[in-house]
Structure 1
């Protein structure tokens, strides 16, 4: 078992929680990426414009912002596991509804609902795994959960050519959305195998004795205001750049580079393999050098990679290699956001704080894909993608350089000592005094 590295060091409870969070994210990813994959088909069959396609990408991200913060506040009150179950079901059924849509405004509503569920699941799952795993392994374990996104994306990419081979294009995309109901079955597994984190349960006992409710407004007061602003800007830059590529890469490959559907799937498969590896590499490195330095390194490398990928004519083999690195760096960056933010807030408002920063960062970042769609009416799509992504990465780099360091903080001690939700004071930078593992 030594060859399995950090996984061998997890106990049975940590492993069950890990696979519940990983599986929930994978299944939600499968549902959310279906939209990006079928967008070229919707443009052709339903007459949706590129501008409208950008809006659909952005409204899901706005919904995700609302869902992440809302689910975070509810998770601080009712528990992480209960909200994890609810959000997985939400995504499953909203994706099923998409198969019945035929007009832009119908997709607009369903896409917003799907985003609410996906944002809630990602935020709550990240907090749950961060509270469950021991501090010295937290960075690599919590980050690796993000690889579930690549697994879900891979499932949808593999399913697409099969479904479109069995049915005509004008019907196949509806069947594709119909498989989105599958994650609902996963809730049964979560209910049977996953229990609430000890850190949260201990915090709730303290709150119950005091008869106080968590006050999410504490994230905007005192020293935590700096944490909230900086973390939100970091998430805005990371996710703004990432969503440009996630939303527009399939369309760019097929409509700008003229690749057929089979070749597009191949290029995306390489990108997905990179997304699978990225969180593991980021998590290991962040535990060693610290969260902020790791963010800065990945953002710099991604800006260089996107510049070469988009602005220089490349042969197919080089394009595939850069596509792998694109997915690796993109997934690595995204994987560290919520776990990093969770270390910066006390238990009573941890899900609220981490959920707000990730979610509002996602909401601000959601403007970027829509901006690509608007700019692409006056410049090549690739140029619009590259310009917007690189600007977003620059914002993220600046925020990462001033982010407080809480690498490896003991969350159990935060449950009582830093109970800001009940009005007591705390210094968020005290976490930086904890040793880096």
Structure 2
């Protein structure tokens, strides 16, 4: 029996969960800050190193090249050796590489640092959602994980503020903006020292007593605060202790049992991430192409990134009200509408308004996807499944900034957004018609449901 799962499923949301949300969310905020700041330094770096087009696109893609390898490694290592150790090392690597990138004086060196920083952010982003999902009962899991992803929006908004005020300050303004993305992470590393390992993972690895100790500690905190905990309910059997090698885990993911979940998650992540970074890596440049000055484009970007906040948190409510699949599909279709409005808009106000709508809907789709993906895989494969989906998504993030840089002079603004629209339609259709239902079910019940199909 899944003792840890049964005990965790009966727990209410509490201060312990709020602490997890804050510390995990802070990691996502720094990830978002690091990803978004590049959009604001691209115009400066283009002039500084006399580069443009594809080379600037490669800078936009560099983080996501590293992200791909970091997400793949984090998933397999997280399932084999635990979630917590991956979170700590990933954050440390990101902090060091991001800070060093601000000191680089040449295009190749800066590119290399961005790739290494991307390995850290990729591992961080891929492991946090599976880790926190395993502490929360089915009653709150979707809204909790979607809210967690909402912290990305604070990182993007902070990047817009830094891009608006720091980058134009002088010759080294871009260095301060990039360097400051890594420095505060040291504080987050200190906070994470006290985080426990996932009890569900501990049981899946055969560490029964350690899992019981973690859950007992959580229960003790709740009782000390006056919570009256209900009896433990019967749960489906937990996964047997896993000794699978990395290769065997990938083989298990590709087996008929998990093939549908894998395909849906890969397509959804690729389509959304391709579209998102095609838009937001180049957003200041898009606005400048519509006749705005660099100063105005950076200022308007603050409003555009701020629209992420209601996008994430409205989707956090929607995933429990209308379900994960419907939420993702609705927000992706909303993104299609917003992209169309952006193409036909001409005045500054209408362009920015359409871009804000696109920001809201794309990030709402992300919130749904972050809640949905960890639920598609059993505990022994959850981090690996989530990591591979995130890594496939980052292929989209690698390809799209470069592709936009190459295609923009050829097919223009309207052509680029027509391509983005087509990709979004593929993603929404895939999730809505082929995605398994996961809401309202304990993680152990989801595993049993998959095995019965």
TM-score range, shorter chain: 0.7 to 0.9
Separation in structure 1 between the aligned mates of residue 208 and residue 57 of structure 2, nearest angstrom: 44
Pick which of 32-41 and 370-379 moved more. 370-379
1:402 is matched with which residue?
434
Separation in structure 2 between the aligned mates of residue 66 and residue 298 of structure 1, nearest angstrom: 28
Separation in structure 2 between the aligned mates of residue 107 and residue 234 of structure 1, nearest angstrom: 31
Deviations 1:364-407 (A, max 9, x none): 45322221111123232x23431331122022123212111122
User: Which residue of 323, 330, 335 maps to 1:290?
Assistant: 323
Is the CA contact 2:145–2:371 (under 8 Å) kept in the aligned structure 1? Answer: yes
Q: Secondary structure at the match of 1:376?
A: helix
Is the CA contact 1:38–1:173 (under 8 Å) kept in the aligned structure 2? Answer: yes
Q: Is the helix fraction higher in 1 or 2?
A: 1
Give 1:427 deviation, angstroms: 5.1
Matches within 5 A, 1:329-408: 329-380=361-412, 382-400=413-431, 401-408=433-440
The 3 A distance-change label for structure 1 pair 41 and 241 is: same
The 3 A distance-change label for structure 1 pair 165 and 296 is: closer
Separation in structure 2 between the aligned mates of residue 149 and residue 26 of structure 1, nearest angstrom: 5
The 3 A distance-change label for structure 1 pair 408 and 113 is: farther
2:34 is matched with which residue?
31
1:116 is matched with which residue?
119
Separation in structure 2 between the aligned mates of residue 308 and residue 211 of structure 1, nearest angstrom: 50
Is the CA contact 1:207–1:213 (under 8 Å) kept in the aligned structure 2? Answer: no
User: Which residue of 174, 185, 188 maps to 1:183?
Assistant: 185
Separation in structure 2 between the aligned mates of residue 37 and residue 99 of structure 1, nearest angstrom: 14
Is the CA contact 1:199–1:412 (under 8 Å) kept in the aligned structure 2? Answer: no
Q: Secondary structure at the match of 1:379?
A: helix
Give 1:12 deviation, angstroms: 1.7
Deviations 1:228-268 (A, max 9, x none): 122101111111111111111111113x0232343223321
Separation in structure 2 between the aligned mates of residue 42 and residue 11 of structure 1, nearest angstrom: 46
Separation in structure 2 between the aligned mates of residue 60 and residue 176 of structure 1, nearest angstrom: 16
If the length of structure 2 is used for normalisation, what is the TM-score? 0.84
The 3 A distance-change label for structure 1 pair 147 and 134 is: same
Deviations 1:93-124 (A, max 9, x none): 11112112233322322222122211211111
Give 1:343 deviation, angstroms: 0.6
2:268 is matched with which residue?
234
> Which stretches in structure 2 are left out of the alignment for 5+ residues?
1-11, 210-239
The alignment covers a number of residue pairs equal to 407
Is the CA contact 1:245–1:385 (under 8 Å) kept in the aligned structure 2? Answer: no
